[in-house]
Structures are given as structure tokens and as C-alpha cells.
Structure 1
């Protein structure tokens, strides 16, 4: 490992330990922002639904810990890590991450429309020019992950998700605290915003083989995808389906629609499974 790489890895561990001291559960990240440790079940012939019960590292955000010794062990197992992820939704902070693109205008418009104030809170600047706002939620509310559901260009990191921590270095650059926010603590999520982030009520699952009426538009959206759009459209439609409680009922129909566009069935089902994990959390 080059001296520069060792220095970056050392700093990543130091930042991760500092976050752990504040009660934030962390995992090592690679320069791609993905968990640095690969799954110990990656060569299994069948999918393994293990979230760390096997006792081995490599389960993504489920490895996250605030125990200093455990943090050091994770980073020792991944000396190539250049950053760290902070698990959201975990006590004591129940962190909620508001991830938005270069302009905060959409978030301010949303705040004005729903009559809430964006509080002063920990803010992380991303290499792409975006920002991560850190908020805290009540222990009794599980906020799911979502992509552009709240508003275009605004993603939510909740239970089962993680935020790239400040001080991390990725292939696109470094994450750093915004000036003036280093001494702040994550602010409570405004109640009006929390209501927007809370999952919609679950509806009874339709009979097997039937298609919910609300899902017909999603199926059409996938079926009309052109080459280069197929996987993106399928992922977006599957996220919307799971967020509205009809994901499982619509999975076969969405798969069939994607296959009709030329997407391999195994790839379609993997994309739908990814959408389910993102939107429903652990």
C-alpha cells in the first residue's frame, strides 16, 4: 500500500472512531462509497439472507458498530478503506439523512409548502456539490430509505441506510463538514417533514395473480422503456411499488414487463430485490 493510501486509510479510521465516540455506528467504505468488506456468502449457490448472524463481517450496514474495538477490527479487515459510513435509524440518535443535489431550492420550496423550517444542523458537503443534512427522529418512527420520493433530487437515508461520513475520501473527492456546522448536533426532524418521510400505510395484499390498479401505470412505465433505460425504469417503478405497499404483489408483473423489453429475468429480479431493500430497510 502506498504511503498516501496508508495516510488516507489512517485518517478514515480516525474519523470513524471520532464518530463512534458520539454514539454513531460506523462501517468502513471503499473509494466507491460501497461497504469495503465483501459478503462472506458471495460464493454461496443460493442467496443467503444473513445480516451478521453468522458472526463474520461483510454484511454492509448490518456490521455497523459504535464499539471502538469492533470499529478497529473492521478497518483492520479492510485496510483499503478510504472512508466510513454512518448507519441511520440506530439509537441513540435515530439519524435521518437528507441528501440533495447542488441546489437547496427544492428543499426550501418543500419547507415553504408544508410550513416547516429547516433547522440548523450538521451539514456535510459532498464532492459533487450536494449536501447531507443530519436530523434525528423519534425512537418509535421508522423512516425508510427513498430516492426522489420526497421531491426530485432529494434522497432519504433512513433505517437500513447509511451516510458517507465527513472526512471520507472517495473516487470523486472528499466529504467535509460545512463551515459553521462542526460544533452542531443533529437537530430534531420537524414534525411536518417527519410526516412526509414516514412510510405510507400498508394496504392488504391483493390476491395472488391479480395486479393492483395503481400498479398498472408502473408496469406500463417499465414496459415502454427503451434500451439504456430498462434497468433504471424498473428500479424506479419497483421503489414506488414498495413505498406504496404493493411491491410484493407487483414483483412478478414488473419482472415480466422488464423481460419483454429485453432485460434478463435474473437481472430484473435482482433489481427489484435491490429496490425492496432500499425502501423497506432491515
Structure 2
């Protein structure tokens, strides 16, 4: 692939540094909207590409090398410069969602077909657009039906004419990524996902801020909308050291019954509930088998369960004022 010209490289780095200065963790992206740095584990012996990807996901940068996708995201200016210096082919930058201090949530309103690659999708026009697509109509219908207001917030126009609506979430809620679960054409970017930052150049065009939104800060996500996109955590009762077996069976069945487009979200939610109730380790293999039965590749299923373990450990550490253990 041809390297971008110096002007493009300089401009995108400037955009990324400006975002990092505002507390938004960033990573370099290629013109395909994928992380620009290759995995440092790519040359390690492995039975296949899927296993290599799973190993990269489990590492999450603990090896100290860049190339772990969204897990490389940082707000440190020196680290941002180092990432872009290691990725001379970068033409854009990604903003990690779900991370402190903003805990960004991306509402993706799709104007084309749903993005099945797992990368940020292109979304539909903003509230003021006269030719709003079905996805925004669906969001407005949800707002009317559930009695919440779509707030005025930072809005990014995608090359296809879509929109990314930026919202912020509270520290005690983990929003998972999902595709068309809320409504057809509406994707959610939460923890572990990223949004393409404004100023990024891609193969399809440039992402830019919608007029009038550059002066805005990301608005808090309405509580009602938050409940729709983040399954509520079940209360944890420390005295209940022996959860009912049927509880674990219900989580497994919940994952096993997942359809395409909801498998990863269901697995992540079920794994979080399992770890919160102290049966995560016991149930991990059964949840993996259920996800594989539903059509999810085993490495991806195990990586999702590992992410759930890490997040629940971090939340437990914050509640008790202790550092969360690191999981390789």
C-alpha cells in the first residue's frame, strides 16, 4: 500500500493529538478504518490466523509492544507520536469508546448495509437532515416510545453521508458493542470498540464534524437509552456463595439461543453476569460451547469472555478501592 503524503500524515497526527488533549484515547488507523499497526504476535507459532488474533486479544498490550488494536489507545502525547511514527501508513485515527474520563458511547446510524466486519460502520444523517434514513427514524421512534430526548451533541459525518453521535456514559455502566440490536441500522460502539475520528481520511473519503457541533462537548447518554443499550447488572450478594445451578444454565441457554448480530453481545453480557455472581470460571467453558453452537468462532468467544472477566474485575476493584488484577 502506498504511504500517505507528508501533509496527510501531519494533519491526521495533529487531529489525533488534539483529541488526546481532550482526554480521548486514540490509535492510528489505516485507510480501511482498521488499526494501522500489525500484531506483534503475528510471527509466533500458531495453528491459524484466528488463534493468533485470539492471542493478541488476550495479551491486550501486556507484552509492552504496540499492535493490539484499541488496547493501544492512549491520551499521552508522547505515546501518540510513537504510535504514529510506528505506523507511517496511517491516514486516520480511532477513538476508543468506554474509556475514562469521557467513557464515550457511539451511536452509529447506518445509511448503507450493516457493517458486519466489526469495524466502525457508516451511519445515517443527523436529526436536522430532511432526508433522514430509516435508522434515524428508528432512533426517533425509540425516543418517542421510551420517552427520552436525543441530545444535541458532537456529531461526525461519515464519507457515505452517515453520522456518529457521541455520548458519554457513567463510570458504573459498561456498554457493549452491538450491531442492529437496538434497531435495524443502529450500531452501538461501547467498551472495546472505537469510532473513526473527524479529520481521518479513508478509502471512501474523509470524516468531518457536522456544522455547529465542533463547539459542543459529548452529551450524557439519556438514562432510558442507556438502559436499552446496556443490559442491567444483577445485584451481587456476597453472602450467596453458592448460586443456584439453574442461574448458570439460564445464562448458557441465553447465549446458545443467540442469532447472528447478537451473539457477541449476548455472550459478553452473560459472562459479565457469571463473573459478578462468582461462577465465571466454572461457567466459562459452557458459555464458550454455547457461543460456538450459536455460530461464534471459539477464539472470539474466549476473547469475549476474557474481556468480561477483566471488566468485572476492574469494576470490583473500583468499588472496593483496590486495583483490579491484570489478566493476560
**d(CA) in 2 for partners of 1:184, 1:101:** 22
Task: Between 130-139 and 5-14, report the one with greater CA deviation.
Answer: 5-14
The DSSP-based 3-state class of the residue aligned with 2:297 is helix
Structure 2: state its 5+ residue gaps.
Answer: 47-54, 112-132, 236-242, 275-282, 312-328
Q: State whether residues 23 and 92 of structure 1, in contact with CA within 8 Å, keep that contact through their aligned partners in structure 2.
A: yes
Match of 1:269 in 2: 298
Question: Per-residue deviation at 1:45?
Answer: 2.4
277 and 132 in structure 1: CA distance in 2 versus 1, 3 angstrom threshold: farther
Q: State whether residues 238 and 251 of structure 1, in contact with CA within 8 Å, keep that contact through their aligned partners in structure 2.
A: no
Tell whether 2:110 aligns with 1:84.
no
Q: State whether residues 17 and 71 of structure 1, in contact with CA within 8 Å, keep that contact through their aligned partners in structure 2.
A: yes
Question: Per-residue deviation at 1:270?
Answer: 4.0
Q: State whether residues 239 and 276 of structure 1, in contact with CA within 8 Å, keep that contact through their aligned partners in structure 2.
A: no
**d(CA) in 2 for partners of 1:153, 1:274:** 26
Structure 1: state its 5+ residue gaps.
Answer: 222-232, 259-266
Cα offsets for 1:41-78 (capped at 9, x unmatched): 12222535211122111111111111111111110000
Q: State whether residues 254 and 266 of structure 2, in contact with CA within 8 Å, keep that contact through their aligned partners in structure 1.
A: no
**d(CA) in 2 for partners of 1:170, 1:73:** 21
Match of 2:263 in 1: 237
60 and 281 in structure 1: CA distance in 2 versus 1, 3 angstrom threshold: farther
Question: Per-residue deviation at 1:108?
Answer: 0.7
The DSSP-based 3-state class of the residue aligned with 2:5 is helix
Cα offsets for 1:100-128 (capped at 9, x unmatched): 11321111111111100001000001112
Q: State whether residues 26 and 96 of structure 2, in contact with CA within 8 Å, keep that contact through their aligned partners in structure 1.
A: yes
Match of 1:144 in 2: 176
The DSSP-based 3-state class of the residue aligned with 2:83 is helix
Q: How many residues align?
A: 259
Correspondence for 2:228 among 196, 213, 218: 196
Question: Per-residue deviation at 1:182?
Answer: 0.8
Q: State whether residues 200 and 243 of structure 1, in contact with CA within 8 Å, keep that contact through their aligned partners in structure 2.
A: no
Tell whether 2:190 aligns with 1:158.
yes
**d(CA) in 1 for partners of 2:26, 2:245:** 39
**d(CA) in 2 for partners of 1:237, 1:23:** 32
The DSSP-based 3-state class of the residue aligned with 1:9 is helix
**d(CA) in 2 for partners of 1:99, 1:144:** 13
Q: State whether residues 267 and 291 of structure 2, in contact with CA within 8 Å, keep that contact through their aligned partners in structure 1.
A: no
TM-score by length of 1: 0.80
Q: State whether residues 144 and 279 of structure 1, in contact with CA within 8 Å, keep that contact through their aligned partners in structure 2.
A: no
Tell whether 2:60 aligns with 1:23.
no
CA RMSD, Structure 1 to Structure 2 (Å): 3.0
**d(CA) in 2 for partners of 1:64, 1:273:** 22
Question: Per-residue deviation at 1:274?
Answer: 6.7
90 and 3 in structure 1: CA distance in 2 versus 1, 3 angstrom threshold: closer
